[in-house]
Chain A
Amino acid sequence: MTMDRRTVLGLGGAVAAGSLLAPGVYLVAAPKPPARTEVKAGRRWAMLIDVNRCSPDCRACTQACRTENNVPLFGDPERDIHWIRKVEIRDKSHKRPSITLPVLCNHCEHPPCKHVCPTAATFQRQDGLVLVDMHRCIGCRYCIIACPYKARSLVYHETHLPEGGNPKVPIRGKGVVEKCTFCVHRLDAGEEPACVEACNRDGDKGMIFGDLNDPESTIAKRVLEAKTTTIRPDLGLGPQVYYKGL
């Protein structure tokens, strides 16, 4: 299954090194990551979320994100860090049932957060990812104000690597702003974001991820054939998280 999705993503090849018996079980030792990887310009990572499939009580994506990226929960709604969160939308006239959907960083083509950043800590990678360079962030929070998707959080507390946390992802410094990275460390290793993987494994199977610029990719085809929308397209930011059935 991993194989399929990777091929779908146009990330094939990375797994070919070891023969896969069952998900995560290899005949030989797990293949070593390649010695050197580099981003490819001209890619356009995007996500398609099928809102009709997203059930209100499923938390597969948000849980997977917290585990993968060591995102702690402090239990203080004002100051909690969210990279991806479930939002409920109610129809005021009660004609339609309320729906829930995950909201995360939209990795905009024209990111307002990047434009307001005084230290160029927020930047766009060649493949369109909008990332925060934590080494540069001074915690001024202009970006939090600029982001219409409320995708960013400031870290108000000291944090530590939780028991059984993922050592590959640095934990966080107090006083820096952070947000969803589309799991950049996984993308660079040829895997898809943790939320998408979890949604398709344990959840409602409503998330697709891939390269929109590759006409052969599932996501490019789906976005073409199905009616999709983004949140607040009127702002003209070119968000890259598409929703179906919104």
Chain B
Amino acid sequence: MAWFRPVVVAMALLAVLFGGAGGPEAGASSLGSGPPGGGSQGGPQLAKAKGDACVKDRAWMRRNHMDFLKHRRDETVREGIRIRDESLLNCQSCHTSRTEFCDRCHSFVGVQPDCFHCHNYK
């Protein structure tokens, strides 16, 4: 695993550099108003969500939405517990554009969730 470390460090550096330079560029989109008071400088410009609040606290969502979704999917599919507002189908009612919200951040951090060749999310 030792070979992996420099790669990670280099990627992190690139991300920081790119984050700084990429901001205004991505902001060219009329939707990119940026996270108000968002933690780190730069970062991806995310489309503003509809509604007042996310299904959970925003900072918590940023950190935990992946585990949240995966936990919920086991509960829903296997145990049959459906929570209307917290379903994956419902994210798009506030985060209306996947490309300008989810994907923008995911490509920034370099993750490719493989959920959307089955799940419908515009």
Contacts and interface: CB of A to CB of B under 8 A. Distances in A.
A3 to B, nearest CB: 22
Given A35-B85, A135-B73, A171 B117 contact: yes
Interface in B36-80: 73-74, 77-80
A125 B82 contact: no
Contacts of B74: 133, 135
B80 A36 contact: no
Contacts of B117: 158, 171, 173
Contacts of B78: 123, 125, 131, 133
B89 A168 contact: yes
Given A135-B73, A168-B89, A161 B120 contact: yes
Interface residues of A, number: 26
Given A170-B118, A170-B120, A173-B117, A39 B77 contact: no
B12 interface: no
B119 interface: yes
A38 B118 contact: no
B5 interface: no
Interface of A: 32-39, 123, 125-127, 131, 133-135, 158, 161, 167-168, 170-173, 184, 188
B17 interface: no
Given A170-B118, A171-B117, A172-B118, A133 B82 contact: no
Contacts of A172: 118
A207 to B, nearest CB: 23
Contacts of B82: 36-38, 188
A39 B120 contact: no
Contacts of B120: 161, 167, 170-171
A171 B115 CA distance: 11
A170 B81 contact: no
B85 A39 contact: no
A188 B80 contact: yes
Contacts of B73: 135
Nearest to A165: B120
30 contacts: A32-B84, A33-B84, A35-B83, A36-B81, A36-B82, A36-B83, A36-B84, A37-B82, A38-B80, A38-B81, A38-B82, A39-B81, A123-B78, A126-B79, A126-B80, A127-B80, A131-B77, A133-B78, A134-B118, A135-B73, A158-B117, A167-B89, A167-B120, A168-B89, A170-B118, A170-B119, A171-B120, A184-B80, A188-B80, A188-B82
B77 A135 contact: yes
Contact of B81 (A37, A123, A161): A37
A170 B77 CA distance: 12
B67 to A, nearest CB: 14
Contacts of A188: 80, 82
A188 B87 CA distance: 14
Given A38-B81, A135-B74, A167-B120, 11 more contacts: A34-B84, A35-B85, A36-B84, A37-B80, A38-B80, A38-B82, A39-B79, A39-B80, A133-B77, A167-B89, A188-B80
A34 B85 CA distance: 10
Contacts of A133: 74, 77-78
